[in-house]
Structure formats: structure tokens, C-alpha cells
A and B are shown apart, each in its own frame.
Chain A
Amino acid sequence: DQQVKQNSPSLSVQEGRISILNCDYTNSMFDYFLWYKKYPAEGPTFLISISSIKDKNEDGRFTVFLNKSAKHLSLHIVPSQPGDSAVYFCAASAWHDYKLSFGAGTTVTVRA
């Protein structure tokens, strides 16, 4: 039973526009959330994270929003660039638990 769900397997967006990736979770013990980016033939790399005491975290073009009451988070990429084409995984962990639960991933394609 997947505790982290990414319901959109793919997303296509034009270069320069906003990409919005969504993630839902079911475990109320999760209090730390991460986004990983994965290129083909490489391992996932950490992108951005947010703890449950915040509702927004920004890092350059990337912003993660957390809605704890809805058990929902989203990743915004503005503006989208061709190098952003990758698979994005949402992950979550509970306090002091190093174990990560991952979603199935969303493949983002940025069109020129």
C-alpha cells in the first residue's frame, strides 16, 4: 500500500512556463518531505525539501508547497527549462526515521 502517491505519471510543458507536480500522502506521521530528480542512467539527486512546520520553501526556480490538512504537497518549477526534463520523485519520512517512502514518479518533458 503506497503511502505516497503521484497520480500524474507524466507532464509536458512549454519552455518558460510553469511546471506543477503534485503529491499526496496518507501517513499522518510523515513530517519531512523531499523531491528528487532523476535523469536516465543516473541515481536520484536531491532537489528540495520541506518540513511540516513550514508551508512553503523556495530554492531558485523551485518552490515546494505543503498543505498538511489536505496531506498534499506540490513542486513548482518556474520558469521551466529543457534541462528540467527528468523524472521527479516525491518522498516522505517521519520524525527521526531515516526511511523514505517514495511516490511512483512523474516524468516531466519540457518542450522548446
Chain B
Amino acid sequence: EAQVTQNPRYLITVTGKKLTVTCSQNMNHEYMSWYRQDPGLGLRQIYYSMNVEVTDKGDVPEGYKVSRKEKRNFPLILESPSPNQTSLYFCASSAGETQYFGPGTRLLVL
């Protein structure tokens, strides 16, 4: 089954404790992206990757890092999480203009 998977689905952490949210797709898509969803703001792009070893900032990249060492994986790294990064995070992949989203990761930073 074609899908985008994210782990973990739910995470509670404390300020400053580094964390990684994994994202994997099995559709051989070159393009992958991370979004955060906040009330009243919709989905905002954090980072995206056009291919392996090619990444770039989206609209809200501050406080986040990404890497793309393999085509299928695109982890999101929060080196020092802060409470304003409490949000719902979605990974997406695409081979064209239609993006396919993962199920989401709900993060709470205390």
C-alpha cells in the first residue's frame, strides 16, 4: 500500500530535549516536505527536499533541521524544542503537484 508513515504519532517532551520525528514514504517520490498545523493558520511549510541531499527552508524553518540521506526518509529534528513548537506536524511526499500526507505527529513541549 502506498503510504507516508510518521513516528511517533504523539510525543510529550520538555524544553531543550532534542527530538527527531521520522518520516518515510514507499512511493519513490523525489519531493518531500514537512508542515505544521496550528489553529487559524492552516498548514505552514517548515522544510522541503527536492531529492537526496537537497533540502531548503519553507515558511517557518526556525528551530528545525532536516536531512535527506535516502530517498524514502526525511526526518525532522528539533535540536532544542521550545513551547512555541507545540503543534501538529505532517510529512508529505509528491511526484507532481498532488502531495500525499502522513497521519501526523502531535507534539507537546512543556
> Which positions in A face B, CB cutoff 8 Å?
2, 4, 6, 9, 32, 34, 36, 41-46, 49, 89, 91, 93, 98-100, 102-105
| Alpha-carbon distance between A104 and B99 when the two chains are bound, in angstroms | 17
Residues from chain A with Cβ under 8 Å of B92 in the complex: 43
Interface centre among A9, A43, A99, by most B CB within 10 Å? A43
Partner of B100 from the list A9, A46, A105 (CB cut-off 8 Å) is A46
Main secondary structure of the interface of B (DSSP, over half): strand
Residues from chain B with Cβ under 8 Å of A36 in the complex: 101
Residues from chain B with Cβ under 8 Å of A32 in the complex: 97
> Which positions in B face A, CB cutoff 8 Å?
4, 31, 33, 35, 40-45, 48, 50, 58, 90, 92, 94, 97-104
Distance from A92 Cβ to chain B, minimum over Cβ atoms (Å): 10
Task: Establish whether residues A98 and B48, one from each chain, have CB atoms under 8 Å apart when the complex forms.
Answer: yes
Residues from chain B with Cβ under 8 Å of A102 in the complex: 35, 42-44
| Alpha-carbon distance between A4 and B99 when the two chains are bound, in angstroms | 17
| Alpha-carbon distance between A2 and B40 when the two chains are bound, in angstroms | 11
A43-B4, A49-B98 are contacts. A98–B42 as well, Cβ < 8 Å?
no
